[in-house]
Amino acid sequence: MGPSAGSRWVVALLLCAVPAACAAPKPEKPVEEYYPDYRPIGELAGNVSCVGSDSMNNMVALWSEGFRKHYPGVFVSAEGKGAATAIPAMIRGTAQIGTMSREPKPIEQDKFEKEFGYRATVLRVALSALAIYVHKDNPLDEITLEQIDAIFSTSRKRGYKEDIATWGQLGLKGEWADRPINRYGRNSASGMYGFMKDVALLGGDFKDTTKEWPGSATVVLAITDDRDSIGYSGIGYGTSDVKRLKIAEKSGGTFVAAEAENVRNNSYPLRRFLFVVINKAPGRPVSPIIREFCTYILSKPGQACVAMDGHIPLTVGTVHEQLKKLGIEK
């Protein structure tokens, strides 16, 4: 199950709640053997505060548990109220790491640079995707981006012929034909909201009738309780009470399932990266505790945590690109 909305916790208090140390998880698909191993350094102790995307809270908890196997004196806290809270918390000094389900916007980087004199360092840490969910009883199995746009947006920038308000307009018959479509999604502080708006709706405006929720898991829970609903949330938040729709770019295109392999091979259209953001001055090393935590995230056990939480590990090439940003590799 995904994290609850706006949750705040300290990893030390969660150790009993996470079933296995992430140093030896059992992800759905095996993590590639040629990811770099994590090699601990001496001793580390201190506190690390992570603020940002609630979609990443569980993953941070798994990373933290595995990291503390090497450094018991390190305590990691995480607060998930949306990607938009990450950079402001770093500027205020209340977070050392920002967790973001989208890249920082130029205006966010501008504010960071005004405060510190340089831009924040952005690391890709996982592949993920936005999925379109319906209730398990809904007979619909597939949908196009044009139809998604016509369901959620007043702008219809993808050019669909009409506004979509009933399930019959998507081809459903019988009792479903005249049933209204109820729309669910994230609030505007969420990176998922921004991704849906920018990618699926091509920057169009959401309908006022879209019900917004503060957490990814709560969107799915709302769909569970409403047979007439459709909503967007992270790929890792599916349950047996909902189903993910296959998506095609447009009518006549190939419908692609929201599955890990399709995200990795770039065939699924609503794929994205997840990020951590750190404060690293140009030409200067980052603090040892932040460097080692990020190095752990990009290691074999760290990427196994990504898979355990229902996301998709990075390609090995992408991992090495991020290690170069950290100054770990040349």
CATH of domain 8-128+274-326: 3.40.190.10
Rg of the chain taking only CA atoms, in angstroms: 20
Would you say 238 and 244 are in contact if contact means Cβ atoms under 8 Å apart? yes
Would you say 118 and 225 are in contact if contact means Cβ atoms under 8 Å apart? no
**What 3-state DSSP class applies to 155?**
coil
- Report domain extents, the chain: 8-128+274-326, 129-271
pLDDT over 70, % of the chain: 89
**What 3-state DSSP class applies to 217?**
helix
What dihedral do alpha carbons 200, 203, 209, 212 form, nearest 10°?
Answer: 80
CA 52, CA 233: separation in Å to the nearest integer? 16
Fold for the domain defined by 129-271: D-Maltodextrin-Binding Protein; domain 2 (3.40.190)
CA 48, CA 50: separation in Å to the nearest integer? 7
Residue 169 CB-half CA count within 13 A: 16
Provide the strand spans (E) within 69-165. 73-80, 97-100, 121-135, 142-144
Amino acid found at 17: A
**What 3-state DSSP class applies to 110?**
helix
CA 228, CA 61: separation in Å to the nearest integer? 34
Per-residue burial over 92-109, b if 16 or more Cβ lie within 10 Å, else e, is eeebbbbbbbbbbeeebb
DSSP letter (8 states) at residue 258: -
pLDDT for position 152: 98
Q: pLDDT tens for the chain, 330 residues: list them.
A: 443 333 333 333 233 333 333 433 333 444 566 688 899 998 999 999 999 998 899 999 999 999 999 999 999 999 988 899 999 999 999 999 999 999 999 999 999 999 999 999 999 999 999 999 999 999 999 999 999 999 999 999 999 999 999 999 999 999 999 999 999 999 988 888 999 999 999 999 999 999 999 888 999 999 999 999 999 999 988 999 999 999 999 999 999 999 988 998 899 999 999 999 999 999 999 999 999 999 999 999 999 999 998 889 998 899 999 999 998 875
CA 318, CA 304: separation in Å to the nearest integer? 15
**What 3-state DSSP class applies to 49?**
strand
pLDDT (tens digit per residue) in 223-234: 999 999 999 999
**8-128+274-326 and 129-271 share one CATH topology?**
yes
Would you say 135 and 141 are in contact if contact means Cβ atoms under 8 Å apart? no
Nearest one of 30, 15, 95, 97 to 62, comparing CA atoms? 15
pLDDT for position 154: 97
